Structure 1
Amino acid sequence: MSTPDKILESILEQATKNLNTPVISDPAIRFRVEYVCRLVSNRACARLLMACLLAKIDRPDVDPRKPYTAIGDPDAFSGRSYDEKFITRFIYENRLPLNSTTAFLTPAFRNLDKPLTTDLELVGRPRRVYKETLQLLDDVYQSKITAEELLTEVIRILLLMRQENEARIHSLLAGFSSDDSLPLSSEEIVSLIEQHLKCKNSSRLPVLIVAAAYNAIGKKLGEYVLPLQSHNAADQQTGSLGDVEICLENDSHVVTVYEMKTKQVTIDDINRALEKIASAKNRIHNYIFITTDVVSDEVKSYAAGCYEKTYGTEIAVLDCIGFLRHFLHFFHRSRAAFLDAYQYLVLNEPDSAVSRPLKEVFLALRQSAEADRE
């Protein structure tokens, strides 16, 4: 008997072989699945579909509209289990343009105890994507299409999207100037990054800015960055002290912690940092807040007064662009290395952390900035 992993492998092979040929003949169903899969603003519905369809193929007796054991019916199942155990790894291994976390934790699909029937009103945007998703599940239930056919079509479209995304990135990369051209100045790089930060859904970027800075000059400092945690993982879940953790060379003890904020840092934020510092197994030398908002004098003063309280740990609150500007001028000869390191991190983040449009915007901004140098 095929396992869910084997089922996915088989369907992936079939979708790859027929990448440019739709599996579904019914135009209405084909249009519906295309819409759900290609909607960039909502990736949860496509992922939920994959989990429900995989369950139906693995266990033909289940109702694909009942992915909640709380329903209590014999034909109900745990869609979240299929999602987390099988879909997560499949998405990651094949670099599919979907969220890295389960669809069953999104507000519309969380904690339900009723079937996902077409008359169910789910709260989310856009409303149409939820209606189309429920209709696709009903199409399978009504035997208008098999679960295997629909899942194959979903994966085929996602593979096409991956191919299209990669082609756009390669096209933008090909437009960069030659290596022998004059590199961007520190202030030009600051301007470029500042424009990128102003884009929509850019909350992950300050983390990448700080990490790129250490990746560019870490060897000179004798320090290195620990692997970044997922953008939506809480520090309590991961055991991390902050968003970016710095260690000394040949040592695994964290000595500098960066915590990123897209709003003003408050005294309460600093007090929580003091609790982390007190509970740390090893002494933290610096705990630095990086914010994209203004820094009040009251907060600066309170942070400065924490040195004696912590017996030697410095707490500082810096604005993101100010940090970047000082870094680039202080390590002026490493400015090109920083920009390359930042680009690498941006392009290699999951799309759920740094969206595909945000990646493309950065490349377009850099291409334009470097073209102006010629």
Structure 2
Amino acid sequence: MSTKSETASAAFTNVITGMSIKAARPEVDVRFHQVQIQKQTDRPAGFNFRGVSEKIIYPWLSRNEFNGAKSGWQTRTLERPKPYFLEYDENIGAIKDSFLSIYDELEIGGCNAREALRFALYKQIELRAKKKITIAEPKTTDISTIVSMLTEHFSAEYKNKGASRLPVLAFHAIYAVLTREMQRFNGMTLKPLEPHSAADSQTGAIGDIEIARADGSIFEALEIKHGIIVDATIIEHVKRKLMDKAVDRYYVLTTHPSGEKPGLEKELAAIQSRLGCQVIVNGVYRSLYYYLRLLADPSSFAPEYASLLKHEKAVSFEHREAWNKIAVG
């Protein structure tokens, strides 16, 4: 379960919740995780485990940089009103046997819940230590080589989510250098990245990357799509973001090989004419060539990218390790 705790984070959080409750309340049959099914046991908890998971377990896991989901009951297969018996017939996934075996051991096998929890957290400490690896900072100034490395990093096959965040990190790293070097950005500030899971409506952001004027208004912004073709719907969404803003330039970049659907030129021209913002649609990889040419030293983006990779919560050890392998050849 610990090995799969990144890819099966909800099930892992569920198990940690069950073990925690069992350690604190040994008399409770933790297989009966919902109030509505606890009439079936003479050892009910009297509460739904989901609330404990969301209010106590996940925040604690997150604070300690352990793997976990916002709820151990966030998938339908885990929240069915059925006890977690070995014959539980929902499709939990590849960890089903481990998941159900743990609950069975807690109730039938005489497992010590406190020791089981201690061991599970020990394995998380090991995984956390592996995440804190040194991130490679390639020194090459050859732009083609840099773009090739980034292309491989973005497009590799990963078991864990987070690949869509990588192009955002790369462009943020480049802008960290650009805002120091280019006169166009004198007096401007590159805003920190918002959490990957945060919606624009919650943060007030108009793009994945934003450069702000001294008064806090957005001067330039980038929206980066991963594997999504830019169409009229996306442009309409951009237009709505810009309606009450004084943005000078807005880039919509995508890793999709086709880039954009034809016929967007008229709408882009209308946005510039009516809202005063130049909206530029382009491919991520072509744009990388353009931006890297603007840097006095193309390799200067690498320390910035490494720092973002190291601290970004949306990417996993797998993405960091992949970059190291690519960067050192």
1:205 Cα deviation from its structure 2 partner: 1.0
In structure 1, C-alpha distance between the alignment counterparts of 2:76 and 2:193, rounded to whole Å: 26
Alignment of 1:89-108 (within 5 A): 89-96=59-66, 98-99=67-68, 101-108=70-77
Residue 82 of structure 2 aligns to which amino acid in structure 1?
Answer: K
Residue 112 of structure 2 aligns to which amino acid in structure 1?
Answer: T
In structure 1, C-alpha distance between the alignment counterparts of 2:65 and 2:48, rounded to whole Å: 24
1:107 Cα deviation from its structure 2 partner: 4.3
Identity %: 23
In structure 2, C-alpha distance between the alignment counterparts of 1:219 and 1:329, rounded to whole Å: 15
In structure 1, C-alpha distance between the alignment counterparts of 2:115 and 2:233, rounded to whole Å: 53
The reply on whether 1:116 has 2:81 as its aligned counterpart is no
Higher helix content, 1 or 2 = 1
Alignment partner, residue 84 of structure 1: 54
In structure 1, C-alpha distance between the alignment counterparts of 2:297 and 2:50, rounded to whole Å: 46
In structure 1, C-alpha distance between the alignment counterparts of 2:80 and 2:194, rounded to whole Å: 29
Please list every run of 5 or more consecutive structure 1 residues that lacks an aligned counterpart in the other structure: 1-35, 369-374
Alignment partner, residue 345 of structure 1: 308
- The answer to whether the 8 A contact 2:31-2:84 is kept is yes
RMSD between superposed Cα atoms in Å: 2.5
In structure 2, C-alpha distance between the alignment counterparts of 1:200 and 1:85, rounded to whole Å: 34
1:320 Cα deviation from its structure 2 partner: 0.6
Alignment partner, residue 314 of structure 1: 278
1:233 Cα deviation from its structure 2 partner: 2.9
Deviation per CA, 1:297-325, whole angstroms, max 9, x where unpaired?
3234432332123x212222121111111
Alignment partner, residue 355 of structure 1: 316
Residue 84 of structure 1 aligns to which amino acid in structure 2?
Answer: E
1:208 Cα deviation from its structure 2 partner: 0.7
Once structures 1 and 2 are overlaid, which stretch shifts more, 62-71 or 48-57?
62-71
In structure 2, C-alpha distance between the alignment counterparts of 1:297 and 1:325, rounded to whole Å: 23
The reply on whether 1:188 has 2:182 as its aligned counterpart is no
In structure 1, C-alpha distance between the alignment counterparts of 2:53 and 2:319, rounded to whole Å: 27
TM-score (norm 2): 0.85
Once structures 1 and 2 are overlaid, which stretch shifts more, 68-77 or 321-330?
68-77
1:134 Cα deviation from its structure 2 partner: 1.6
1:100 Cα deviation from its structure 2 partner: 5.2
In structure 2, C-alpha distance between the alignment counterparts of 1:100 and 1:132, rounded to whole Å: 18
- Distance verdict in 2 for CA 1:322–1:148, change over 3 Å: same
Deviation per CA, 1:270-313, whole angstroms, max 9, x where unpaired?
112222222x5x4333332110112333234432332123x212
TM-score (norm 1): 0.75
The reply on whether 1:63 has 2:29 as its aligned counterpart is yes
- The answer to whether the 8 A contact 2:21-2:30 is kept is yes
Residue 234 of structure 1 aligns to which amino acid in structure 2?
Answer: A
Please list every run of 5 or more consecutive structure 2 residues that lacks an aligned counterpart in the other structure: none
Of the candidates 166, 176, 201, which is equivalent to residue 215 of structure 1?
A: 176
In structure 2, C-alpha distance between the alignment counterparts of 1:256 and 1:112, rounded to whole Å: 47
- The answer to whether the 8 A contact 2:10-2:74 is kept is no
In structure 1, C-alpha distance between the alignment counterparts of 2:224 and 2:76, rounded to whole Å: 25
Alignment partner, residue 229 of structure 1: 194
